Structure 1
Amino acid sequence: MAELNSRKDVPNDIEGNYADSKEQVYLEETFYILSKKNAVFRVRLTSKGLSLSKETDGNSKEQTILLRDIIGSKCMRSKRRRPGAGSCVCSSLVSHQLKVVDENSGDLDENDVSAYLYVYAYILKQNRRASKRERTTITLRFRSFDKYEDNNKEAQKWRTTIKCLIAGQSVSHMPPVAEKKLLILLNPKSGPGKARELFQTKVAPILQEAEVPYDLHVTKYANYAREFVRTRNVYAWRGIVAVGGDGVLFEVINGMFERLDWQQALAEVPLAALPCGSGNGLARSICHLYNEPYIPQNLTGMSMALARGKAAAMDVVRIETKSNIMFSFLSVGWGLLSDIDIESERLRAIGGQRFTVWAIARLLSLRKYKGVVSYCKIKDISNIPKPKQPLLLSHSVSHDGALDSPDAEAFIDCDENTDVFTTVNGKRHQRVDSWYSVNSRRSAFFSTRGSEYHSVTSSTSEMRSPTHACMHGPAPRLPALVSQLPSHWVHLEGEFVMVHIAYQSFIGEDFLFAPRAQLSDGIIWMLIIKAGISRSQLFSFLLSITSGGHADIETEYIKMVPVSAFRIVPEGTSGTLTVDGEQVEYGPIQGEIFPDIVNLLVPDIQ
């Protein structure tokens, strides 16, 4: 029969319920363990996952590796042993020193006819304090037959079934058709500047195990990602991944809205964010909503979401200023929090701690801003009607017409030197372990078969961008920025410490701004803090925002309001306005929410 061996022993102290009658069993096999007498594993592959039942001397303990925790599998062969090594495979199995190589490797042990199936999983472990994902590799050794080809056929049957189940496709004898690549847009300067290293060490290995190919492009300048998605055939990719802070995704989203086919592109090509910046508000919100552990600089859960390919809808807010229109996915800020966000850029090297340091500085020298804050309040957030999306929409135009599309688009080259590094079928190959060389000025990335790395320097490219870009998207329902607002709107005039508006639960890794916010609920949460509040009150408020305790606080100075649209008209010319953490021109600004516009790759619900 076959033998089961795991790099990490399957826990002996975990008891579980055997697969219930509603589960569909696809494959079942018994694997013997030579290192323990009278011990066997009965392994079943079901619609729920990989069920492992360990039987030793009449005692039985069970565990199920859930399908949503399995990332991929691979068939391997044993590696040729060096002179002086153990004389039989059994000895290496007992000592956990089994060496395997790819099926096509030239360094095969022809004497071992076994086929090895490696199943890669990242199991969610929970304890009282926190939860995390733990990597586990289950190795199934098939050796029922005298020929490797027959054993490999059995192993491939399991591998194909696992691939079909992970992909959500009907189980067949043929593996799922190879999908398109992911497009990875990485900002190497996000946050403390560790995006390259984090991608190489945390993300690339998971994508390799999941056999998800990708094209990786490193951004060269501001709005590189925006130009890229605006001008390329985005349908060639299965999804677009922004690696860095929230600013990279802001570029991607607005680049998509600058396409004439924005509606189709956003419907067919999901987006994703891998948090390698300082804020990482959207990624933190996604993990919060999907019960996925969020550990700074640990991208396991979000990387699994890229491989699984499940998408959920997200609202966006159309923002209008005097001369620009943009689409926001996170927040709009005026006053204290925006000052902290922008002014702390000089401390970017210390990561997210820069916000805390600068918050103290701003509290000591508290500023006040005069202006008018207006909003359309949502009276009943429990049963909010979602606005209907028009089927045919023209591009958005600002009140002064400055954003009208040119009659003809002229094109210029904006990326003329691109070297492509590929792991297969390419003229220039990099060593498999070159992804460890993160300090290399021009290092390639370890990638899945068919994946490509486009370096910071370039030699060839198809990228061409229009000289003039115009913003498209859903047509506005609000009056023009200089026009009068409807009579039912609420207007507040005076001095403010800050006004911050968000549509996600978190606006930073440690800022639970709107605990009740969902990715798509049609609600904008507007926090208004008026001047006159004491520093001690403000300090207590900022402490409570880390846990969301501020959401139920309402005083004469603090108000949290659910709205569907807003307008801010500051007085003077000195101040800071931000959209998704990016500074925009200071002056009148307004926004309205459009539900279900963008699709995001999200984790499986736990």
Structure 2
Amino acid sequence: MADSKSGIDVLHAMGEEKADVKEQVHLEETFYILSKKKSVFRVRLTSKGLSLIKETDDTSKEQIILLRDIIGSKCMRSKRRRVGGGSCVCTSLVGNQQLKVVDENSGDLDENDISAYLYIYAYVLKQNRRSLKRERTTITLRFRSFDKYEDNNKEAQKWRNTIKCLLANEPISSVPTYNEKKLLVLLNPKSGPGKARELFQEKVAPILLEAEVPYDLYVTKYANYAREFVRTRNVYNWRGIVAVGGDGVLFEILNGMFERLDWQQAFAEVPLAVLPCGSGNGLARTICHHFDEPFFHQNMTGLSMALARGKSSQIDVVRVETKSKIMFSMLSVGWGLMSDIDIESERLRSIGGQRFTLWALARTVALRKYKGVLSYALIKDIGNLPKPKQTIFGRSVSQDGALDSPETEAFFDCDEQTETYCADTGRKHQRVDSWYSVHSRRTFYSARGSDYHSIVSGGSELRSPVHACMHGPGSHLPSLMSELPSSWVHEEGEFVMVHVSYQSHIGEDFLFAPRSRLCDGVMWMLIIKAGISRSQIFSFLLKVTQGHISDINNEYIKMVPVSAFRIAPEGQNGYITVDGELVEYGPIQAEIFPNIVNILVPDTK
């Protein structure tokens, strides 16, 4: 009944219905359909969502727009009729004629129309031939029971405020609580095929506008820009930090947060989020997988809705130590085949995620093997794991054996020259990173109060004077060059690859660990030993794309659950990656910590 293109347009009339005893009814009205005689909608706003009951003669049909699918609402007025424009556009909705409305505060209002219009925006899950997907649906309710616009608008505002309270899970009030804090959006324009700006502009910003969620958007200018930004700024000014790009920009944000003296409080109060515009997008795919949210390449509807709802979930992080660095990871650590594919396929970045498939074929034909020692703390009973306990926070040790922390405050607001596009005034200024390039549309969507910031050239780039030092929970492992506990498993020999993931997916089409959960304290280690044939590798890659990797266990391939591990490669040739980022080649060890970081997730209640 709700068409995603044309929406539903109904006219208000006085009337009441009996409440559904199974759910709480907050508001209820009867509306006429302007284009059809003897047809009405009984509209109910309940604790479940919006109930639309269409009654025509002796038939009745109901559609439910679930509350979790509603993103926002807005009160509007009809647009003033232009001279020579024909009759008032609001008198009829027959045929292809469209209702023309403007913001209630616009100077282009039709003062002769006393109606108040309530637009309700929803993204409804619908089944197509292959899978579920979200379709945009607009429900338009027209209130004109009273003789004055002010009275009709008061009625429409009552519905709007009730919807806002329900979406925020707050008690129903005539004045809903408004969160003045913005989202901090850090966008990497070079992620994947380089279309992050366009994707954000076209697919994310309109949803944030409908949800009335303001944001500050910063485009990264150089490597580790996002890392420096969150380390040196007062992040409590924002309601959340959004990484727009691949898994790499979130890796920067995560480690920048751990470089703060107040990292515990920062993670507790400021959740992280990811919008997938890269090539791999493993973490975004994992989040959608766990919360039954449809995921398509470059389709960010569900994750954009999560930004507006503000619901968060805890996620595991892994402390990784090399000879010279300590870092934190949310996705994976790799050595061998998969890391080779990830790093060497960078030259094909312009084709997006297909780069991995093409390079996997090339690398399998010219299969490499690596010699070294693999050690890990095996989890013997995965089905009887205790619930992850709250992490006991300590201090990470830097490479020189001491925590070199500054005595002063770890963050401050750097003065910088910025140029801004403001949605309220519409004023535009020349800037280096303009949306109005030959590669983007002329329209820039922006939530009310949202700003676009760009660092101008000429030496004004952000450079933090604060000395960077990694903090975070203290390690439970021996130092990297020390002897490991005797209870650990040790394997020495030649390997094609070792890849450890703590999330279900390490790519959009790569279901690596089906049994993994966001916060379970388990890392899944895939070990492929040398001696495996190329045909077995091809078979393995095929099964991976079908999510059958956990079924693969033979003399060459095995998957084991671990809580900590160490890789000690021999030689100098090879790649080791953390969250897809290249790190120094040499010994590396890692351990998992739950209950530290909160990440925004879809609302599936």
Partner residue of 2:585?
A: 586
C-alpha distance in 2 between matches for 1:550 and 1:398: 37
C-alpha distance in 1 between matches for 2:400 and 2:170: 51
Encode CA deviations 1:556-577: one digit per residue, 9 max, x unaligned.
0001000000000000111100
Partner residue of 1:201?
A: 202
Task: After TM superposition, list the pairs within 5 Å mapping 1:347-366 onto structure 2.
Answer: 347-366=348-367
Q: What letter corresponds to residue 404 of structure 2 in structure 1? A: D
C-alpha distance in 1 between matches for 2:507 and 2:74: 38
The residue matched to 1:282 in structure 2 has which SS? helix
Encode CA deviations 1:160-180: one digit per residue, 9 max, x unaligned.
100111111111111222331
Deviation at 1:391, TM superposition (A): 5.0
Partner residue of 1:520?
A: 519
C-alpha distance in 2 between matches for 1:81 and 1:443: 27
The residue matched to 1:355 in structure 2 has which SS? helix
Deviation at 1:106, TM superposition (A): 1.0
Deviation at 1:393, TM superposition (A): 2.4
Find out whether 1:281 has 2:282 as its counterpart: yes
Task: After TM superposition, list the pairs within 5 Å mapping 1:527-566 onto structure 2.
Answer: 527-566=526-565
Deviation at 1:83, TM superposition (A): 2.8
Partner residue of 1:104?
A: 105
The residue matched to 2:585 in structure 1 has which SS? coil
Instruction: Pick closer, same or farther for the CA change 1:163–1:25 going to 2, 3 Å.
Output: same
Encode CA deviations 1:482-511: one digit per residue, 9 max, x unaligned.
111111100000000000000000000111
Task: After TM superposition, list the pairs within 5 Å mapping 1:565-580 onto structure 2.
Answer: 565-580=564-579
Partner residue of 1:115?
A: 116
Deviation at 1:581, TM superposition (A): 0.1
CA contact under 8 A between 1:216 and 1:453: conserved in structure 2?
Answer: yes
Task: After TM superposition, list the pairs within 5 Å mapping 1:75-94 onto structure 2.
Answer: 75-94=75-94
Partner residue of 2:193?
A: 192
CA contact under 8 A between 2:78 and 2:100: conserved in structure 1?
Answer: yes
C-alpha distance in 2 between matches for 1:459 and 1:26: 57
Q: What letter corresponds to residue 30 of structure 1 in structure 2? A: T
Task: After TM superposition, list the pairs within 5 Å mapping 1:359-378 onto structure 2.
Answer: 359-378=360-379
Encode CA deviations 1:35-71: one digit per residue, 9 max, x unaligned.
2121000000001101000000011000010000000
Q: Which moved more, 1:535-544 or 1:119-128?
A: 119-128
Q: What letter corresponds to residue 54 of structure 2 in structure 1? A: K
Partner residue of 1:448?
A: 447
Deviation at 1:230, TM superposition (A): 0.5
Deviation at 1:104, TM superposition (A): 1.1
C-alpha distance in 1 between matches for 2:443 and 2:413: 25
Find out whether 1:333 has 2:334 as its counterpart: yes
C-alpha distance in 2 between matches for 1:91 and 1:445: 32
The residue matched to 2:361 in structure 1 has which SS? helix
Task: After TM superposition, list the pairs within 5 Å mapping 1:128-147 onto structure 2.
Answer: 128-147=129-148
CA contact under 8 A between 1:417 and 1:459: conserved in structure 2?
Answer: no
Find out whether 1:150 has 2:151 as its counterpart: yes
CA contact under 8 A between 1:118 and 1:140: conserved in structure 2?
Answer: yes
The residue matched to 1:465 in structure 2 has which SS? coil
Instruction: Pick closer, same or farther for the CA change 1:310–1:538 going to 2, 3 Å.
Output: same
Task: After TM superposition, list the pairs within 5 Å mapping 1:319-330 onto structure 2.
Answer: 319-330=320-331
Instruction: Pick closer, same or farther for the CA change 1:162–1:462 going to 2, 3 Å.
Output: farther
Encode CA deviations 1:254-301: one digit per residue, 9 max, x unaligned.
000000010110011000000000010000001111111101111111
Deviation at 1:464, TM superposition (A): 6.3
Instruction: Pick closer, same or farther for the CA change 1:460–1:61 going to 2, 3 Å.
Output: farther
CA contact under 8 A between 1:529 and 1:558: conserved in structure 2?
Answer: yes
Deviation at 1:528, TM superposition (A): 0.1
Report the count of equivalent residues: 593
Q: With structure 1 as the length reference, what TM-score do the two structures score?
A: 0.93
Q: Which moved more, 1:243-252 or 1:32-41?
A: 32-41
Q: With structure 2 as the length reference, what TM-score do the two structures score?
A: 0.93
CA contact under 8 A between 2:378 and 2:560: conserved in structure 1?
Answer: yes
Instruction: Pick closer, same or farther for the CA change 1:9–1:221 going to 2, 3 Å.
Output: closer
CA contact under 8 A between 2:261 and 2:410: conserved in structure 1?
Answer: no
CA contact under 8 A between 2:184 and 2:242: conserved in structure 1?
Answer: yes
Instruction: Pick closer, same or farther for the CA change 1:385–1:590 going to 2, 3 Å.
Output: same
The residue matched to 1:197 in structure 2 has which SS? helix
C-alpha distance in 1 between matches for 2:91 and 2:443: 38
Instruction: Pick closer, same or farther for the CA change 1:5–1:89 going to 2, 3 Å.
Output: farther
Encode CA deviations 1:314-372: one digit per residue, 9 max, x unaligned.
00000000010000000000000000000000000000000011111101111000000
Q: What letter corresponds to residue 8 of structure 1 in structure 2? A: S
The residue matched to 2:139 in structure 1 has which SS? strand
C-alpha distance in 2 between matches for 1:402 and 1:584: 22
CA contact under 8 A between 1:322 and 1:398: conserved in structure 2?
Answer: no
Instruction: Pick closer, same or farther for the CA change 1:444–1:130 going to 2, 3 Å.
Output: closer
Partner residue of 1:62?
A: 62
Deviation at 1:436, TM superposition (A): 7.3
C-alpha distance in 1 between matches for 2:574 and 2:26: 63
C-alpha distance in 2 between matches for 1:390 and 1:448: 37
CA contact under 8 A between 2:8 and 2:138: conserved in structure 1?
Answer: no
Partner residue of 1:34?
A: 34
Deviation at 1:430, TM superposition (A): 7.1
Instruction: Pick closer, same or farther for the CA change 1:199–1:441 going to 2, 3 Å.
Output: closer
Q: Which moved more, 1:77-86 or 1:218-227?
A: 77-86
Partner residue of 2:456?
A: 457
Partner residue of 1:165?
A: 166
Find out whether 1:8 has 2:9 as its counterpart: no
Partner residue of 1:72?
A: 72
Q: What letter corresponds to residue 53 of structure 1 in structure 2? A: I
C-alpha distance in 1 between matches for 2:64 and 2:187: 36
The residue matched to 1:52 in structure 2 has which SS? strand
Encode CA deviations 1:102-150: one digit per residue, 9 max, x unaligned.
1111111111100000000000012451110000000000000111000
Instruction: Pick closer, same or farther for the CA change 1:136–1:442 going to 2, 3 Å.
Output: closer
C-alpha distance in 1 between matches for 2:339 and 2:276: 20
C-alpha distance in 1 between matches for 2:193 and 2:446: 24
Deviation at 1:84, TM superposition (A): 3.6
Deviation at 1:390, TM superposition (A): 4.9
C-alpha distance in 1 between matches for 2:170 and 2:429: 34
CA contact under 8 A between 1:409 and 1:466: conserved in structure 2?
Answer: no
The residue matched to 1:316 in structure 2 has which SS? strand
C-alpha distance in 1 between matches for 2:44 and 2:351: 48
Instruction: Pick closer, same or farther for the CA change 1:410–1:118 going to 2, 3 Å.
Output: closer
Instruction: Pick closer, same or farther for the CA change 1:130–1:392 going to 2, 3 Å.
Output: closer
CA contact under 8 A between 2:34 and 2:92: conserved in structure 1?
Answer: no
Structure 1 residues without counterparts, runs of 5 or longer: 12-17
Instruction: Pick closer, same or farther for the CA change 1:404–1:25 going to 2, 3 Å.
Output: same
Partner residue of 1:382?
A: 383
The residue matched to 1:94 in structure 2 has which SS? coil
CA contact under 8 A between 2:322 and 2:587: conserved in structure 1?
Answer: yes
Deviation at 1:550, TM superposition (A): 1.8
* RMSD between superposed Cα atoms in Å: 2.6
Structure 2 residues without counterparts, runs of 5 or longer: 10-17
Encode CA deviations 1:379-432: one digit per residue, 9 max, x unaligned.
1112213554455522x1146427633567999998733212212268x4479x
